[in-house]
Amino acid sequence: MHCFPGWVYHDDGGVGNCYLFSEDLLRPWQGNIEFCAAERTVPLYITKATEMEWIQSQTKNLVGMQSIWTGGNKLDWNSGWIWYGLATFPYINWDISEPNNYNGDVISMDAQTGKWKVDFESEQRGIGCKYPRGGTPETSCGDNCFQEIVCEDQTQRITCGPITSYSYEL
């Protein structure tokens, strides 16, 4: 299966996704969000144990990688922990004594153990992004129902919708 250059494909039971993990691109949490958005992808989110095990197998081999950003956050304290732009967690992998209410409101993942910890948005962590194979997540365009995207001398229109819907024609 093909992903963007530099991305890694993983099929976890028929649900194929492309992933990017990088220790060379240390950023604060918002920087990770912006990087993934610029790539028209979403910050890393994990939906089941087998996916988490595969992600850990990839990140533990990155020399110098201590931790990586996920899209997990509690920026809206009324909503509880959620994946950025998505719903609540169907799977959790918290480290011992996590989540705590003292160390921030976003989630980083230990690259060696795969365990999640509550972190401060300002910390510098590795990049983690994800998109489904065959397309990229659509972004919301508010009141404008269409977003124009230019792709190598072609112009396409995609229908905008919630981040959980996907466009497969790019």
CATH code, domain with 19 = 3.10.100.10
- What are the backbone angles phi and psi of residue 124, rounded to the nearest 5°? -95, 115
Give the domain range for residue 69. 8-135
> What value does the CA radius of gyration of the chain take, rounded to a whole number of Å?
16
pLDDT in tens, 127-159: 999 988 655 444 333 333 233 343 444 444 333
Instruction: Confirm whether 128 is domain-assigned.
Output: yes
Beta bridge partners of 72: 83
pLDDT in tens, 48-88: 899 999 999 998 877 677 899 999 998 877 778 888 877 77
Whether residues 114 and 153 share a domain: the answer is no
pLDDT confidence of residue 134: 55
Whether residues 89 and 145 share a domain: the answer is no
- What is the count of structural domains for the chain? 2
Whether residues 53 and 125 share a domain: the answer is yes
Instruction: Confirm whether 82 is domain-assigned.
Output: yes
For 168, residues 6+ apart whose C-beta sits below 8 A from its C-beta are: 134, 135
For 34, residues 6+ apart whose C-beta sits below 8 A from its C-beta are: none
pLDDT in tens, 81-120: 888 877 778 889 999 999 887 778 999 999 989 999 999 9
Residue range 120-131: mean pLDDT, rounded: 93
- At residue 125 the predicted structure's pLDDT band, cuts being 50, 70 and 90, is very high
Contact between 64 and 22 (Cβ < 8 Å): no
